[in-house]
Amino acid sequence: MSLDDASATPEVLVRVEGGAGLLSLNRPRAIHALTLDMVRAMTGALLDWRGDDRVQAVLIDHAVDAGGDPKLSRGFCSGGDISLLRHSALHDGGAAGRRFFFDEYRLNHLLFTYPKPVVAFMDGITMGGGVGISQPARLRVATQNTRLAMPESGIGLFPDVGGGWYLSRLAGRLGQYLALTGARLDGAECVWAGLASHYLPAAALPQAKARMIAGEAPDAVLDEMATPAPEATIAAHADAIARLFASDRLEDILAALEADDSDFAQTTLATIRTKSPTTCKVSLRQLATSRTLPDFAANMAMEYRIGARVLMLPDFAEGVRAVIIDKDNAPQWSPALPDTVTDRMIADIFAPLPALEEWSPL
């Protein structure tokens, strides 16, 4: 089938081969960004395979264009369906957006609690929704192509899909740094941070998958085939990140960066100043709260409350306009300054929803 017929192909390739269930994301022109149909297809397959004795492990990867075009093979998953979310915020009061979040978060939770080994191959761009379907996996494989980020603060969102859980549990305030800056980690840095369990050259992935399909235990295959990751560049800044991002108050972090004349601090300060002040504050509270929650389901319920409200704030539609639609990279945030985003405004975003509107796991 030609690329012109791509609309007729499934957005997720779902199949059982040997002893493995395979979920291959298949929207190459969108770097496999998740749609609601993709979320539901993956959820349905996982529910079917949960009691299927043929399926001993689940492998999640991205399909590679049959023509071998590297421009269509450059990422695992670039995120979620931002166009749907923005359209919903502007035209249906956020109803479709909330439906997407509700089902997507159920998929995230299902993966997190899945009783069989799940292996995510994070080869290439792994952002937003891609983090949401890879980090719950028991085994997370990075390569030299991996570029992982949670860049949501740049479009007026926050690191959802479980980001509060994962980022808040990274060492040395790295999670706060990633949430506010949207910085990208390469494969070696993902291993160093604990966001990847194994590092393999991309060329070795077909062999690793073939061995798992043949029935070998995924843990054993990856332990044998993994290679030492290169030096993690970000490690050189670990002490600075722990010091500069020590506070859960955005104003304190900005003040610490302003007082530090190092190139790293000044570059980081300039980056944060381009982000939505509201969602930067939301992110800091999200991570601080997540550390107090009893389980992942509670984290996802919190993130759904946040998502349902942040979706309808002016910063989201404006951020998508500036970064994705017009690409002028000049969003006009409202409020524009951190000190005009009040504690009450943030508290309202985190408040419980009406009982019948709350999120729940499958």
For 248-272, how does the pLDDT look when each residue is reduced to its tens digit (9 = 90+)? 999 999 999 999 999 999 999 999 9
For residue 286, pLDDT beyond 60: yes
**Are β-strands 12-17 and 20-25 bridged in parallel, bridged antiparallel, or unpaired?**
antiparallel
User: Under 8 Å CB-to-CB from 218, ≥6 apart: which residues?
Assistant: 57, 117, 119, 138, 139, 212
Catalytic residue chosen out of the listed positions 94, 97, 124, 129:
129
- Which amino acid, one-letter code, is at 317? A
**Are β-strands 57-62 and 198-199 bridged in parallel, bridged antiparallel, or unpaired?**
unpaired
Which of 301, 297, 292 is CA-nearest to residue 351? 301
Catalytic residue chosen out of the listed positions 21, 75, 79, 80:
80
Q: CB-side exposure of 206: number of CA atoms within 13 Å?
A: 3
C-beta neighbour count of 336 within 10 angstroms: 13
Sign of CA dihedral 49, 50, 56, 57: positive
Which of 114, 131, 40, 44 is CA-nearest to residue 79? 131
Which tens digits make up the pLDDT trace of 183-241? Answer: 999 999 999 999 999 999 999 999 999 999 999 999 999 999 999 999 999 999 999 99
Catalytic residue chosen out of the listed positions 11, 81, 152, 189:
152
Which of 25, 144, 14 is CA-nearest to residue 79? 25
74 band by pLDDT with thresholds 50, 70 and 90: confident
**Are β-strands 147-149 and 57-62 bridged in parallel, bridged antiparallel, or unpaired?**
unpaired
Assessment of whether the complete model's pTM goes beyond 0.75: yes
How large is the average pLDDT for residues 127-131?
Answer: 97
**Known catalytic residue at 152:** yes
Catalytic residue chosen out of the listed positions 160, 186, 189, 303:
160
Domains of the chain, first to last: 3-357 (3.90.226.10)
What pLDDT does 75 receive?
92
What pLDDT does 166 receive?
98
Which tens digits make up the pLDDT trace of 290-313? Answer: 999 999 999 999 999 999 999 999
Determine phi and psi for 132, rounding to 5 degrees: -65, -25
**Known catalytic residue at 129:** yes
Which tens digits make up the pLDDT trace of 85-113? Answer: 999 999 999 999 999 999 999 999 999 99
- The mean pLDDT value of the chain amounts to 95
What pLDDT does 1 receive?
33
The string of DSSP letters for 224-280 reads: HH--PPPP-GGGGGHHHHHHHT--S-HHHHHHHHHT--SHHHHHHHHHHTTS-HHHH
Q: How many residues does the chain have?
A: 362
Q: How far apart are CA 43 and CA 104, in angstroms?
A: 9
Which tens digits make up the pLDDT trace of 150-178? Answer: 999 999 999 999 999 999 999 999 999 99
Least confident of 3-7, 47-51, 194-198: 3-7
Whole-number Cα distances in Å, 349 to 52, 113, 343, 346, 353: 41, 27, 10, 5, 10
What pLDDT does 70 receive?
53
**Known catalytic residue at 175:** no
